[in-house]
């Protein structure tokens, strides 16, 4: 641990979602000392949002007794650019709009010059996993977040890959199904996230129910979420189990291509859908190995996040600040 870490042994982590913003104070061992939540979506302008955020931050700094001991602030946010500290074209955030917001600068100014680092949520999760979680000690791994969408954070040689423009790691929008692929929110077809996100799994369920007569407890539901499919699988519903097999198979095929790119030690899975690990693990592993070059077969680990889910978003974001 360097001098700076002893002088300023705490970091702040902020996870900005479309609806809520979670923030917390974290120590070097990854303990969340204080945390709180504010609404993201009650503001249409960023300035009053930053005011409320800075006030909430001040409150938890006081609560945790970490005044003057904060090394910096790490933020995970949609469409965040690590290089420029801006949030660009974040259409899912009420104050995001089509503009480029100098978020790091605004928050730094509002907090008396604290250092601020910003990246997208999947990159933050990768740094969190490397600092506190399943990827400790790993220099080369790929983080895949299986949530509403599929996000990714790629670590090469111990560093997150940001690319030329700061937006590297959009593996949810690589092509999983080339012909007649599903239409994605991004406008393309066949994107990995149209099959393997929580919404993708629900979509598979709805699609398959209309295409077959196979009995399933899912038939009795008005709307189907990935959680319903998971619950059905736990009850032994064969139809639901097949959905997870299919999802794992597609993930594994894509993972094999990701391995050919950066030869990671492991692929780390995180997010709501990753909770279904007992149904996803083996199909992913089998399908990945079947699609890998012989030199990698049987050698790439599939691991699931070890971070406590309620803390993970804050931890991931906070970990960024250690690098400031």
Binding site for its own copies (CB under 8 A): 89, 138-140, 154, 156-157, 159, 161-171, 173-175, 177-179, 186-188, 253, 256-258, 260-265, 291, 293-296, 299
Q: Which is nearer to its own copies, 54 or 156 (CB)?
A: 156
Could you tell me the smallest distance in angstroms from the CB atom of residue 291 to its own copies?
7
Could you tell me the smallest distance in angstroms from the CB atom of residue 171 to its own copies?
6
Could you tell me the smallest distance in angstroms from the CB atom of residue 194 to its own copies?
14
Residue where the block lists tokens 């259409």: 91
Q: Which is nearer to its own copies, 58 or 265 (CB)?
A: 265
Dihedral of CA atoms 75, 147, 132, 135 in degrees, nearest 10, equals -120
Q: Which residues contact 136 (CB under 8 A, 6 or more apart)?
A: 129, 130
Could you tell me the smallest distance in angstroms from the CB atom of residue 263 to its own copies?
3
Could you tell me the smallest distance in angstroms from the CB atom of residue 266 to its own copies?
8
Going along the chain, which residue ranges are E strands?
A: 10-16, 20-27, 32-39, 70-76, 80-81, 86-88, 100-101, 116-119, 141-146, 150-156, 159-160, 266-270, 301-304
CB neighbours of residue 189 within 10 Å: 15
Residue where the block lists tokens 């009053």: 48
Are the CB atoms for 76 and 125 separated by under 8 Å? yes
One DSSP character per residue, 7-21 reads HS-EEEEEEE-SSEE
Could you tell me the smallest distance in angstroms from the CB atom of residue 223 to its own copies?
29
Could you tell me the smallest distance in angstroms from the CB atom of residue 18 to its own copies?
18
Could you tell me the smallest distance in angstroms from the CB atom of residue 185 to its own copies?
11
Local structure of 38: helix, strand or coil: strand
For residue 171, what are its two tokens? 């593996």
Q: Which is nearer to its own copies, 39 or 139 (CB)?
A: 139
Q: Which is nearer to its own copies, 154 or 315 (CB)?
A: 154
**Helix (H) or strand (E) segment spanning residue 268:** strand 266-270
Are the CB atoms for 71 and 5 separated by under 8 Å? yes
Local structure of 170: helix, strand or coil: coil
Reported as half-sphere exposure (CB side, CA atoms, 13 A), residue 187 has a value of 0
């Amino acid at each position: 641990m360097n001098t700076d870490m002893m002088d300023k042994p705490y970091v702040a982590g902020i996870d900005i979602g479309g609806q809520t913003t979670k923030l917390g104070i974290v120590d070097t061992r990854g303990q969340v000392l204080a945390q709180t939540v504010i609404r993201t979506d009650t503001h249409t302008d960023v300035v009053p949002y930053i005011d409320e955020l800075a006030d909430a931050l001040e409150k938890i700094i006081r609560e945790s007794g970490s005044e003057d001991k904060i090394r910096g602030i790490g933020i995970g946010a949609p469409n965040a650019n690590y290089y420029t500290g801006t949030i660009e074209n974040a259409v899912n955030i009420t104050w995001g709009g089509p503009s480029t917001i100098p978020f790091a600068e605004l928050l730094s100014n509002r907090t008396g010059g604290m250092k601020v680092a910003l990246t997208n949520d999947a990159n933050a999760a990768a740094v969190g996993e490397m600092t506190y979680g399943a990827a400790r000690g790993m220099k080369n791994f790929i983080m895949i977040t299986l949530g509403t969408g599929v996000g990714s954070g790629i670590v090469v040689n111990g560093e997150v890959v940001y690319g030329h423009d700061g937006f590297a790691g959009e593996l949810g929008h690589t092509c999983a199904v080339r012909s007649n692929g599903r239409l994605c929110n991004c406008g393309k077809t066949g994107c990995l996230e149209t099959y393997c996100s929580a919404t993708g799994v629900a979509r598979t369920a709805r699609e398959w129910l209309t295409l077959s007569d196979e009995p399933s407890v899912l038939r009795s539901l008005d709307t189907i979420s990935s959680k319903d499919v998971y619950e059905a699988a736990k009850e032994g519903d064969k139809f639901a189990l097949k959905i997870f097999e299919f999802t794992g198979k597609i993930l594994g095929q894509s993972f094999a291509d990701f391995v050919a790119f950066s030869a990671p030690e492991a692929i780390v899975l995180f997010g709501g859908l990753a909770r279904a690990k007992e149904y996803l693990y083996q199909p992913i592993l089998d399908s990945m190995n079947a699609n890998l070059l012989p030199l990698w077969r049987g050698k790439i680990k599939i691991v699931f996040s070890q971070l406590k889910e309620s803390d993970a978003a804050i931890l991931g974001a906070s970990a960024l600040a250690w690098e400031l």
